[in-house]
Structure 1
Amino acid sequence: MKPQRKKVTIKTLGEKIARGEKIIGMECHDTPSAMMGEELGMDLLCVGSPGPMALFGHKSMNTVEFQEQLYFLEAVLRGASTPFICCNMPNTTACVSKADAVRNASEIQRRGADGVHIEPHHKTVKMVEAIVAAGIPVVGHFGVQGERWSQVGSYLPRGRTAKDSADIVKLIRSCIDAGISTVLLEHASEELTKWCYENLSVPVASLGSGPYAHGIFHVSSDIIGCSVFPTPPKRVPFGNVWQNMKDAYTAYYEAVQSGAYPRVEESHHMHEGEFEKFLDLVDKP
């Protein structure tokens, strides 16, 4: 039996990076995926908004409720314990006030998470600082920020111009000063990500942002190819579970239609002599 590894912490992540090893993480929102992440030895699991979108059909991250994130967090915690587990805070829970941000982050930690995941903005750095001051690690999400789609108006890659890259770095530096422990760059230019990897004082993880990073991050539903939404460009799927599900459901539907399922030999039967006894019992007035 494989011995259980020690709990992954901010400290052990730093030690792994110091040894020149790559941090491997994924967004995760269900117990089976969490169990597999645990078994493989993934370093970081983030309970993100893709869960409510991929499984609950939200068309926008802006409609995801905090309680839904907590449901998914509990599902992941039932399947994994040793990775560093953080949970997304929707902007409505992280950006309204410092008091609300700390209260909601504390609830996430009370449920069992090791930290929180936030998509910061220059005007919300003070909330990040308050959460860190409460002793809760923060993973900052930069580049494409899905929860700010209505503000930005697109999911186009970020950091493709000097000005945009400099603006992102300015925000990241403010958040590092506020105490974030990790930078996650989603669909940012490879050049920007590499610069951050080589120059920032905290670990940098890449989500569709190229290979030059301390860690590589992916979304579980995109890894297996199973979401109600198309996989984003440059985010390579490693499976096609959606098609597998469709094939299986189609085969079931057609088998029932044709009478091929269920077969007689797949039925359960009474013990010998019990059917006759049953008839006597039901025939009695």
Structure 2
Amino acid sequence: MVSSRARKVTTNTLQEMKRSGEKIAMLTAYDYSLARLVDGAGVDVILVGDSASNVMVGNDTTVPITLDHMIYHAQCVINAVDRALVVVDMPFGSYQGDSKLALKSAIRIMKESGGHAVKIEGGKEIVDSIKRILTAGIPVMGHLGLTPQSIYKFGTYSVRAKEEAEAEKLMEDAIALQEAGCFSIVFEKIPAKLADEVSKELEIPTIGIGAGPECDGQVLVLHDMLGITKDFSPRFLRRYADLGGVVDDAVREYIEDVRQGSFPNSEESY
């Protein structure tokens, strides 16, 4: 297996995994403690996602999170990671203005956080920004389909590219991102059949979230798959644990022990 042989996962590792048919496992992380556990378990890619705006700050959308916030979370993750490739989301407002702004923001992320790559949402309209970022030697991951930073444009988090014209545009955008130099593309909430077709058309690996099983890899928000968040249950989410329940039980037991005076006991005292 390519991933198990790799001491350090790089963008080239992901290319090799696609060629060999080995699926890529990607998860989000935003802090040192959880990133260390995720990396130690062997995940291939850690995304420092702008979803931190939701799960770490409690915002309704990803729009409010700033470049400074993203750099801080990326620093925390980088300090924890030995093996995984760390990709950092470029937040809303950090690249939409022009390609010079995009390059400046990407350089800040790489220089101040130590991240390994950046991720940027959009299709043909951001190709110039991608090319300019690449001139600085910064790897870029694309993101098509549901693009959460555009929530106020679309007004809903529903599945994208269900109509033929939208599907054709997504294929064109994906090819444009590949030709611009992206090393990978995330497909979010698009029909599985379309994701399969585009993945087979592209030479670069695709990572799906709500895009079916035929993408070259999958990504989930860590807090969702661990069952820490309880108010988010999209069809694509599989919960692998109920840490929300575990935490609730543990905290209640701790409170009870403190109230009763059974914590700390003599063995837990100096």
> TM-score higher than 0.5 here?
yes
Aligned residue for 1:56, secondary structure, equals coil
Kept after mapping to 2: 8 A contact 1:117/1:140: yes
Q: Which letter maps to 1:8?
A: V
1:52/1:69 contact within 8 Å kept = no
- In structure 1, C-alpha distance between the alignment counterparts of 2:264 and 2:13, rounded to whole Å: 55
User: What does residue range 1-285 of structure 1 map to in structure 2 within 5 Å?
Assistant: 5-110=6-111, 111-227=113-229, 229-257=231-259, 259-262=260-263, 265=266, 268=269
Question: What is the match of residue 281 of structure 1?
Answer: none
Contact 2:9–2:85 at 8 Å: present in 1 too?
A: yes
1:57–1:228 CA contact under 8 A, matched in 2: no
Q: Which has the larger radius of gyration?
A: 1
Whole-Å separation in 1 of the counterparts to 2:59 and 2:115: 23
Corresponding residue SS for 1:100: helix
Which amino acid is 1:85 matched to?
V
Give every structure 1 segment of 4 or more consecutive aligned residues whose post-TM-superposition deviation is greater than 6 Å: none
In 1, are the aligned partners of 2:174 and 2:198 still within 8 Å (CA)?
no
Q: CA–CA distance in 2 between the matches of 1:179 and 1:4?
A: 26
TM-align CA RMSD: 2.1
SS in structure 2 of the partner of residue 140 of structure 1: strand
| Contact 2:226 2:242 (C-alpha < 8 Å) held by counterparts | yes
Shift of 1:248: 2.0
* TM-aligned CA deviation for residue 263 of structure 1: 5.4
Aligned length: 266
SS in 2 for 1:239: coil
Partner of 1:274: none
Residue 5 of structure 1 and its aligned partner are, at CA, apart by: 4.9
Q: Residues 263 and 220 of structure 1: is their aligned pair in 2 closer, same or farther, counting only changes over 3 Å? A: closer
Contact 2:66/2:92, CA 8 A, preserved across alignment: no
Aligned to 1:278: none
Counterparts of 1:84 and 1:94, CA distance in 2: 22
TM-score, normalised on structure 1?
Answer: 0.86
Contact kept in structure 2, 1:205 and 1:216, CA below 8 Å: yes
**3-state SS in 1 of match to 2:16:** helix
Letter in 2 for 1:29: Y
Q: Which runs of 5+ in 2 are unaligned?
A: none
**For 2:79, what is the secondary structure of its paired residue?**
helix
Q: Are 1:35 and 1:80, in contact at CA under 8 Å, matched by a contact in 2? A: yes
Matched AA of 2:99: K
Alpha-carbon distance, 1:122 to partner: 3.7
Q: Is the 8 A contact 1:91 1:119 kept in 2?
A: no
Deviation at 1:119, TM superposition (A): 0.8
Shift, 1:166, TM fit: 1.5
| Matched-pair identity in % | 23
Tell me: CA distance 1:17–1:172, structure 2 relative to 1, closer, same or farther (3 Å): closer
> For 2:174 and 2:66, how far apart are their aligned partners in 1?
26
Post-superposition Cα deviations, 1:121-180, rounded to whole Å, max 9, x if no partner, equal: 443322122112222111111111111101111101112222221222222222222211
Q: Which residue of 2 aligns with 1:277?
A: none
**Residue type of the partner of 1:39?**
G
Q: Which runs of 5+ in 1 are unaligned?
A: 270-285
> How far apart in 2 are the matches of 1:115 and 1:63?
22
Task: Measure the CA separation in 2 of the matches of 1:39 and 1:17.
Answer: 22
Which range moves more in the overlay, 166-175 or 112-121? 166-175
